[in-house]
Amino acid sequence: MPQYLTPGVYVEEILAGTKPIEGVGTNVAAFVGLIDSPEPPLVGIPTAVNNWTQYTNLFQNEGPSSPLTLAVHGFFLNGGQRCYVLNLGKGGTLAGKPGLGSLEHIDEIAIVGAPGFTDAASYDAVLSHCELMKDRVAVLDAPPTVDDLNELTKPATASSSTSSSAGGSSAATSAEGDDGSGGAAAASSGSSSGSSSGSRRSGGGAAPRQSDWGAVYFPSIRIVDPLTGRLVDAPPSGHVAGVWARTDGSRGVHKAPANETVRGALDLTYALTPSEQGLLNSAGVNAIRSINGSIKVWGARTLAGSASEWRYLPVRRLFAFAEESIQQGTGWVVFEPNDRTLWNAIRRDIRAFLRRLWRDGALFGATEREAFFVKCDEETNPQEDIDAGIVTALIGMAPVKPAEFIVFKVSQYAAGGAGGEESQ
């Protein structure tokens, strides 16, 4: 407390006590891959890149583009504004350091992709990284070619997929000289449309394993190589990550990044039918389709499974956003006196943050009570916890979920008959 020894007037500033929780960013991506070069640049060093020109100056300015280059270009083209690029170099692997482990200390990363890596070990490495960090979600590429679409409904194993070298420079193959039929590169053909991940055993699985922290997209997309100007088939993860970032900026992380146009995509390597998408959607494989002449992301599922509460991508990303925002915004609580004053302050700050989410449309409910709750009192903090230095707050949120299936029930009725009145 201040001491007043000399008679006079003293002016003191009194802190209001509120410590607003600011939302963390959700649109920064990290791309991990290989650049085939005699002297690979910045090997094993995660490097922040803010635009396409900066990327070409640092990594690759001569074609043909690697899958990593195509992904970064697609990310910026679709609305991404900042990403980290990790060049593994020749012989590099995704697991450990200098692979994905090099990204663990970068808090701002919210999206992780490994363009062109479509084998079981690579899938597991990226998903395990996101599951460990719990503040980022993986965007994965489905294999460019499979013998049967049913393979995409079963997880890949070491015997049914190829080595992780699929992420090399050969993952973008030229599409020039084809028959011009667009989606005619059927999955059953075994042709090398997309990345050259090699053949897969017929009847084996080709999809990533189940996880709450990842989403996978099929098929590959046909684009113009930004370095050579030639048509190539490319893994979609970079373009999709850009769609995620664009949707976050325009609508918010709670909006499903679907029914959005994939900028730069001229065609698809496989044209899915509605029934085929139904098969894949139930297995958590998100489709990219040509809808009314526009190539769009047409799915918003995670790999968690249809029965999981985390099956929707915006729900998973919303909770990751809220959890990290609350964690970073309540750091001032550490070493404060664990009493009712602290509990009231925790409730006040978290409620203010969730109230903003609710007003932005991220939480479902006509009132705050329906949308969320925060409980931090004597019940959640018994004396034994206080003696152990623990303070506990229970938080519940009712997230909005995407309208995935739109059903209009239409019937005939006699003019002027009962039951035909509109509700006002």
pLDDT for res 90: 80
More confident residue, 12 or 15: 12
Helix (H, G, I), strand (E, B) or coil at 386: helix
- What Cα–Cα distance (Å) separates residue 124 from each residue in 9, 32, 143, 261, 274? 67, 14, 15, 29, 29
pLDDT-based confidence at 405, cuts 50/70/90? confident
Average pLDDT rounded to a whole number, residues 36-40: 72
Residue 256, pLDDT > 60, answer yes
pLDDT for res 160: 66
Residues in the chain: 424
Picking from 94, 123, 87, 70, the residue whose alpha carbon sits closest to that of residue 238 is 70
Picking from 185, 172, 146, 156, the residue whose alpha carbon sits closest to that of residue 71 is 172
- What Cα–Cα distance (Å) separates residue 303 from each residue in 85, 110, 157, 407? 25, 17, 16, 25
Beta bridge partners of 83: 29, 49
Which residues make Cβ contacts (< 8 Å) with residue 421, sequence separation at least 6? none
Average pLDDT rounded to a whole number, residues 334-353: 96
pLDDT for res 41: 81
For the chain, helix, strand, coil in percent to 5 are 30, 15, 55
Cβ atoms of 200 and 160 within 8 Å: the answer is yes
For residues 27 and 193, give the distance between their C-alpha atoms in angstroms, rounded to a whole number: 29
For residues 260 and 288, give the distance between their C-alpha atoms in angstroms, rounded to a whole number: 10
Average pLDDT rounded to a whole number, residues 176-190: 42
- CA-based end-to-end distance of the chain: 63
Cβ atoms of 94 and 118 within 8 Å: the answer is no
pLDDT for res 208: 96
pLDDT for res 171: 44
Helix (H, G, I), strand (E, B) or coil at 242: helix
Domain ranges of the chain: 29-315, 335-416
For residues 94 and 102, give the distance between their C-alpha atoms in angstroms, rounded to a whole number: 10
Task: Dump pLDDT digits (tens) for 287-304.
Answer: 999 999 999 999 999 999
Q: Please give the structure tokens belonging to residue 121.
A: 């070990």
Average pLDDT rounded to a whole number, residues 93-116: 92
CATH class of 29-315: alpha beta
What DSSP string runs through 84-122? EEEE--TT--SSSTTTGGGGTT-TT--EEE-TT--SHHH
For residues 350 and 295, give the distance between their C-alpha atoms in angstroms, rounded to a whole number: 40
Sheet holding 231-234, edge to edge: 173-174, 231-234, 221-224, 267-268
For residues 237 and 119, give the distance between their C-alpha atoms in angstroms, rounded to a whole number: 15
Q: Please give the structure tokens belonging to residue 177.
A: 């000289």
For residues 176 and 171, give the distance between their C-alpha atoms in angstroms, rounded to a whole number: 15
Picking from 307, 301, 297, the residue whose alpha carbon sits closest to that of residue 281 is 301
pLDDT for res 423: 53
